[in-house]
Structure 1
Amino acid sequence: MIAVIFEVTPKSGAAPHYFDLANQLKEALHHMEGFVSVERFQSLSRPETFLSLSFWRDEQAVEAWRTHFAHQQAQQLGQASLFADYRIRVAHVVRDYGVKDGAVTRRTQ
């Protein structure tokens, strides 16, 4: 499993447009082969900064999303007019632990 961490600080006043753009991409994202899940968070120490954490089956799925036409258009718009700063991290998930219904589960990749 692959984790993609997208950290973004929108330009002043651009956050609503960024969130609109993200919502427009959501349907395409959920139909991507190999997409697992996505969550969005707001930084507690820097409230103007947001983090999107997505999980993917493998690197091929990440690459397919990276090169998806609508996503590429959104990237270009973001870089040109919406983002004051951004950073992307891509990582392999080594272990995946959890508790469900009181039982500890562990999935190793």
Structure 2
Amino acid sequence: MSESGFASTPQPPYYAVIFTSTRTDGDSGYAGMAQRMAELAAQQPGYLGVESTRGAEGLGITVSYWRDLDAISAWKAVAEHRIAQETGKRRWYEHFEVRIARVERAYSK
């Protein structure tokens, strides 16, 4: 992620994994794991960047960008990431949705 908070992505096409969530109360190790997952994702082949925010009402949206579907599948299968996913289901998230989309066009100001 750049200093502006926006991911620096290439020209499309590429893919976006959109993770929308509401958290449970308390940290319970979440912040440390989130930082570790950001570092680990950035090391994965095909990783392009990430953007993330959480609103005052608790809704969080994280969008990670990937070169292709194979890169997304490989990231999902990383052992440490799988542990974080399972812990998230049990401890950190009241609810979450994952959506995967192909970015066909992108522009900015």
TM-score interval (norm. to shorter): 0.7 to 0.9
- Greater strand share, structure number: 1
2:25 paired residue number: 12
* Deviation readout 1:2-45 (Å, 9 max, x if unpaired): 0011011111224x63222110122211110000000111236x
Aligned pair partner of 2:33 in 21, 26, 38: 21
How many pairs align?
96
Q: Which runs of 5+ in 2 are unaligned?
A: 1-13
Show the 5 A alignment for 1:20-39. 20-39=32-51
Show the 5 A alignment for 1:4-83. 4-14=17-27, 17-43=29-55, 47-83=57-93
How far apart, in 2, do the equivalents of 1:76 and 1:3 lie? 21
List structure 1 segments (4+ residues) > 4 angstroms apart after TM superposition: none
How far apart, in 1, do the equivalents of 2:93 and 2:59 lie? 10
Q: Which runs of 5+ in 1 are unaligned?
A: 100-109
Are 1:87 and 2:100 matched, yes or no? Answer: no
SS across alignment from 1:95:
coil
How far apart, in 1, do the equivalents of 2:61 and 2:83 lie? 20
Percent of paired sites with the same residue? 29
What is the TM-score normalised by the length of structure 2?
0.81
